[in-house]
Structure 1
Amino acid sequence: MEGVSAAQLFALADARKAADFAVDAIAIYEALAKDADADIRAEARYRHGLLLADTGRYVEAAVMFRALLDEKPEVLAARLELARMLAAIGREQEARRELRQAQASGVPDEAAAMVDRFARALRSQKRLGGVFEIAVAPDSNINRATEARILDTVIAPLTLSDDARARSGAGLRAMSQVFGRLPVTEGWSLIPRGAVQGSVYRQSQFNDVSASALLGVERRGQANRFTASVGQTWRWLGNEPYAQTSAVAFDWVRAMDARSQLITSYSVSAARYDVNPLQDGYIHDLSAAYERALDVRSGVSFSASITRQGAADPGYASWAGGMTLGGWRETRWGTAFASAGLRHTEGDERLFLFPDKRREWLATGRLGMTFRALTAYGFAPTVRVTLERNNSTVGIYDYRRVAADIGVSRSF
C-alpha cells in the first residue's frame, strides 16, 4: 500500500490480531515478507510464525521460522521458536540440533539464562505424531545383485537367471512412521511406535516392503534420555513373506555439552526367514553416534557400529563393523547433507556352493537436499542420491549401485 510505512502495517496487523481477525493479520505479514528490506521481511516472518504457533499450526510456524533463518541465521529468537515448534510436532532430535546450533553461534550474556531455561524445558509434548514421505526412485540395481552371468562354484560354473542378476528400474518408494507419547509419571512415558516402508516396481518380484510395531518405556533426565523397547518387524520380498524379527532395543541419548550429543544403541533380535531357515538366528547390534554443531548453519556427525549375525548354517553367520561420517549445511534454499561410510563383513564359514568364505567391503556415499524454500502445504521437496559398491569374495554378493529419491516429505 502506497503511503503506508512498514511500522504502520505492523501496527495494523497487531490490531487485527487483537480483534481476533487472524486472517487479516496473516495477509499483512505475507505482504511485508516480500519487502525489499531484509529486516522488515525477517520481522514479518517472525510475527507470522508466532501467530501460526498461537493457533496451533506448528508445522506451518516451523516453515516460517526456518524461512527467516535461511536468510538471517543469526536471529536467536527465531531459532529458539523453531526448536519449540519442532518439539511440538514430535521432532525432538531436530529441535535439540537447532538449540545446539544456537549455542554454537555464541549466545550473548543477556540471553544465556533464557537459552539455558529453554534447554532444560525442551520436551516433546505432542501425544501423537509422525512423518510421511513418498518419492520416485530410479535405481541402477533394484535387487542389489551381481552383474556377472556365470559364477564359479565348488561343483560347476553356475549360470544366473536374469532375475538373479542386476536389474535397473524406477519404482515408487514410500515411508510412514507414527508415534505416541503417554506420560505415566514425572519423567516417565510409554512410547508406542509403528512404521511401514517399501519400494514397489512394475516387476513385482522385486517389491520390498516392511512393517514394524514397537512399544517402549522412556525415562528423561536433564541431560539424558533412556528408552527400552520391544517390537516385531515383518518383511516381504516379491509380495511373499521373507522374514520376521522379534527385537529388544535400548537407546541412550546424552547431551555432552551445549554443542554436541552422543547416541548409543544396543539391540538383540531373533530372526526367522521364511524362504531359507538356514539363515535363522540371533542378531546383536551395537552402535554409537556423535553429533556436533559447528555454527548456526552447519554441523557434523560420526557413527560407528558392530553387528553379530548368528545363523543355523555358519556360512550365513557373520561379524560386521563400520563407520560413517556425515555433515549438513543450512542454505537459503534448505538443508544440504552428505555422508560417506565404509563397512566390513566377515563370514564364519564358506557357503556350501562357493569356494571362499564371505569377506566384503561396502562403501557408500550419499548426497541430498531438502528444499524448504519450496514447501507447500507442509510438504517439502527432497532429493537424495546414493552410491554403493560392495566388493565381496562371494560373487553373488558383489554389486555396484546408483540410486536416487525424488519426492516430498511431511511431518504431522
Structure 2
Amino acid sequence: MLRFANSASCWLPNNPLRGVARGAQLLLVTLGLTATSLAQTAPTVVSVADSRTLAFNLVSRGQPTPARAIANTLLERNPNDIKALLVLSRAERLLGDLPAAKQAGKRAWRAADAPEDRYTAAMLTAQAISSSGNKIGAQIWLRRAAQVAPNDQLKATAVRDLRYVRGTSPVALSFDLSVAPSSNINNGSKSDTIEVFGLPFALSGDLQALSGVEYSLGATLSYKLPAVGTWTLTAGANVESKHYTLSSSAKAIAPTVSGSDYAFQQLQVSLAANRTDADRKASTSLYVKAGQNWYGGSTLTRFAGVGAARQYQIGERSSLQVNLGAERQWRQDNAQRSADVVTLSSTWGHGLTNGSAIWVTGFVRDTASESSSIAQETAGASLNYSHGKPIFADTKLELSIGYENKRFDRAQFPFVRREDQTVSASATMIFSNLDYMGFAPTAELSAKRTSSTLGQYSNDDLGLKLGLRSTF
C-alpha cells in the first residue's frame, strides 16, 4: 500500500534535479515493487514533495505515462494540487490527449495563486490549445501568460511564442475600440450664419458644429488561403461601427436631431495577393474589395474597388511604398452622387538611430461625379513621428501633422467654386506601463481646422480619443 507523508517542501518546475536520488528510489517503490507492497502489512510512506519532483523529472525526460500515473495519484489526495496538475497537463499533451491536457491546464490556472504557477499553467494550456489547431485561443492564453509572468525574461518568452503562433496561424483577428469626445461630431460649420451676395443667412442647428462623444468599434478578420505559385493569398472582412451622443449644448442648438442621426456602419470584404521579389528587397501587393456602409440607419453607399502597391526596402533603415487604387461608389440616397475615385499615394518611412521613426505620406485623388458637391480633386500630405524612448515612465509618444486641399470641379452656387484647405495635428500617448494582456490604453489629442470659400463648410474640431492598442 502506498501512502503520502505530509510535507511542506516546495516543488518548482525550474528545479528538475531536486531530490533525484530519493526520486529514483520512489520510482522503484511506486512502479516496480507493486506485488511486494501488496504483501506487506505496513504501508509504504513516501514524501509528497518527492512524488511531485519525480513526476516532473519523468515528464521532462519524455516518460509521460508514469508521470501521469503519479500525477493522478497526487490528485486523488488533493484535486487542487497545482504541481500535479501542471505535470498532468504536460504529460497528457505528450501522450496525445489534447482535451485532457487543456482541461488540466485550465484547472491549474484556476487553482494557482503564485505568479510562477499561473504563468506555467497559462503556457501549458496555450500549448495544448495550439496543438489542437485553435491558434486564436492559444494566443489568448499566451497573452495571459505574458500578463502574469513573474519576470521580464519569462514575459519575453510568452511574447515570442505568441508571435510564432500568430505567424503560423491562417486566421488573424484584431479589434479597434475607442471613445472620442469631440467639438464637432457632424463636421458642421463653425458659424451660425453665412453670407450670400452680401446678405446674411442663418444656418439651421443641424448644419452647425455639434459637440458630443463618438464611440467606435472595429474588427478585422483575415484568413490565409493556399498560395498560388509565388503569390500568397489572403481573404479578409472588416466591420466598423460608430455611434454618437450629443452634449446638452448641442441638443439646445439642434433639438430635432439625435446622436443616432450620425451613426455610421461599414462592412467590407477583400481578397489580397502578395509576392516578394527573389532578392527580398521589394514586394508587390494586389487587392479587390467590395462593401456597403450605412448612415443614420439607412444605406448610404455600396462600393467596389481594386488596387496595387509596390514596396521597396531602401538600405537598412528606409522603405518606400507606392499605392494606386480605383473605386466605384454607388450612392443609395441619391444616384447623382455616385462617383468614380482614383487615388495615388506614396509613403516613405525611415528608422532613426535612437529608435525613433518618421513617415511621410503624400497623395492625390480624383473624384468624378455628376454631383457638384462630390466631384473634386484632392491633394494632401502628412508627417508622422514616433519617439523611440519613453517620455516618462513607460509612456510612448507619437506626433502627426497634415495638410489637405480640395478643389471642387464645378461651382455649387452662382460664380462661387468651393475650395477647402484643412490643416490638422495630433499627439498620441501610449501608456505601456498600464498594459493588460498586451493591450495598452492610448490617449490622442487632435485639432483640425478647415477654411472654405463657402463659409458654411469652414469648421474647427478639437477632440480627445481614448482607445486601446496592442503592444505585441
For residue 129 of structure 1, report the CA deviation from its aligned partner: 0.8
The Cα RMSD (Å) is 4.0
The yes-or-no answer on 1:133 pairing with 2:137 is no
Tell me which residue corresponds to 2:47.
none
Pair 1:275 & 2:318 matched:
no
**Residue matched to 2:380:** 322
CA shift in 2, pair 1:82/1:363, >3 Å: farther
Contact 1:132 1:411 (8 Å CA) reproduced: no
CA offset at residue 216 of structure 1? 2.0
Match of 1:183 among 217, 226, 229: 226
Opposite residue 183 of structure 1, the aligned amino acid is: P
Structure 1 stretch 188-197 or stretch 312-321: which is displaced more?
A: 312-321
**Alignment correspondent of 1:215:** 271
1:142 aligns to what?
185
Distance 2:148 2:322 in 1: 33
In structure 2, the partner of 1:244 is 302
Change (3 A) 1:335 1:50: farther
Matched, 1:160 2:203: yes
Match of 2:404 among 332, 343, 351: 343
Q: In the aligned structure 1, how far is the partner of 2:17 from the partner of 2:411?
A: 73
User: What is the distance in 2 between the residues matched to 1:384 and 1:136?
Assistant: 10
Give the drift of 1:383.
1.8
3-state SS in 2 of match to 1:357? coil
Matches within 5 A, 1:60-71: none
The code of the aligned residue for 1:347 comes to F
In the alignment, the residues of structure 2 paired with residue 344 and residue 245 of structure 1 have an alpha-carbon distance, to the nearest angstrom, of 24
> Counterpart of 1:212 in structure 2: which amino acid?
Q
CA distance 1:159–1:268, change in 2 (3 Å): same
Query: What residue is the counterpart of 1:379 in the other structure?
Result: 439
Kept in 2: contact 1:360–1:393 (CA 8 A): yes
Distance 1:205 1:315, change over 3 A: closer
User: Where does 1:69-80 land on structure 2 (aligned, <5 Å)?
Assistant: none
Whole-angstrom distance in 1 between the partners of 2:165 and 2:336: 46
Q: Is the 8 A contact 2:321 2:346 kept in 1?
A: yes
Shift, 1:397, TM fit:
2.0
Q: CA deviation at 1:141?
A: 0.3
TM-score of the superposition, structure 2-length normalised? 0.64
**1:399 is aligned with what amino acid?**
N
- For 1:256, give the aligned amino acid: I
Contact 2:363 2:379 in 1 (8 A): yes
Q: Distance in 2 between matches of 1:359 and 1:58?
A: 49
CA deviation vs aligned residue, 1:15-63 (integer Å, no higher than 9, x gap) = 96946778799x899569xxxxxxxxxxxx9x99998986754467579
Q: 1:356-391: CA deviations, max 9, x gaps?
A: 212221111121123233222443322222211111
Look up the match of 2:293. Answer: 235
Which aligned pairs between 1:117-128 and structure 2 lie closer than 5 A? 124-128=167-171
> Aligned letter for 2:261?
Q
Call closer, same or farther: CA 1:264–1:79 in 2, change over 3 Å: farther
CA contact (8 A) 1:287 1:303 kept: yes
Please report how far the alpha carbon of residue 314 of structure 1 lies from its aligned counterpart in structure 2 after TM superposition. Answer: 4.4
Runs of 5+ consecutive residues of structure 2 not aligned to the other structure: 1-11, 19-52, 61-86, 91-104, 131-137, 246-257
CA distance in 2, matches of 1:307, 1:79: 44
What is the alpha-carbon distance in structure 2 between the residues aligned to residue 272 and residue 153 of structure 1? Answer: 32
What's the counterpart of residue 105 of structure 1?
none
d(CA) in 1 for partners of 2:157, 2:403: 36
Counterpart residue number, 1:284: 342
Distance 1:225-1:304 versus aligned 2 partners, 3 A rule: same
> What is the TM-score of this pair, normalised by structure 1?
0.72
Q: Name the CA shift for 1:148/1:335 in 2 (closer, same or farther; >3 Å).
A: same
Give 2:24's aligned residue. Answer: none
**Relative to structure 1, is the Cα distance of residues 266 and 64 closer, same or farther in structure 2, using a 3 angstrom cutoff?**
farther
Range that drifts further, 15-24 or 241-250:
15-24
Name which structure has the greater RCO, CA cutoff 8 Å, separation 6+.
Answer: 1
Give the letter aligned to residue 301 of structure 1: W
- Taking the aligned partners of 1:64 and 1:238, their CA distance within structure 2 comes to 42
Structure having the higher Rg: 2
2:99 counterpart residue number:
none
C-alpha distance 381-268 of structure 1, shift in aligned 2 (>3 A) = same
Contact 2:147 2:438 in 1 (8 A): no
For the structure 1 residues 334 and 164, does the alpha-carbon distance in structure 2 shift closer, same or farther, using more than 3 Å as the test? Answer: same
Distance 1:366 1:257, change over 3 A: same
Q: Structure 1, residues 139-159: CA drift from partner, whole Å, max 9, x if none?
A: 110011102222234697543
| Aligned residue-pair number | 355
Give 3-state SS (helix, strand or coil) of 2:169's partner: coil
What aligned pairs does 1:64-103 form with structure 2 within 5 A after superposition? 85-86=162-163, 88-89=165-166
Give SS of 1:289's match: strand
Task: Find the aligned partners of 1:310 and 1:294 in 2 and give their Cα distance.
Answer: 40
CA distance, structure 1, for counterparts of residue 238 and residue 179 of structure 2: 19
How far apart, in 2, do the equivalents of 1:338 and 1:201 lie? 26
Match of 1:397 among 450, 457, 469: 457
Local SS of the residue matching 2:418: strand
Measured after TM superposition, the shift of residue 83 of structure 1 is 7.5
CA distance, structure 1, for counterparts of residue 385 and residue 124 of structure 2: 33
Query: Given the superposition, is the C-alpha separation of residues 242 and 149 from structure 1 closer, same or farther in structure 2, using an over 3 Å criterion?
Result: same
**Greater alpha carbon shift after TM alignment, 49-58 vs 192-201:** 49-58
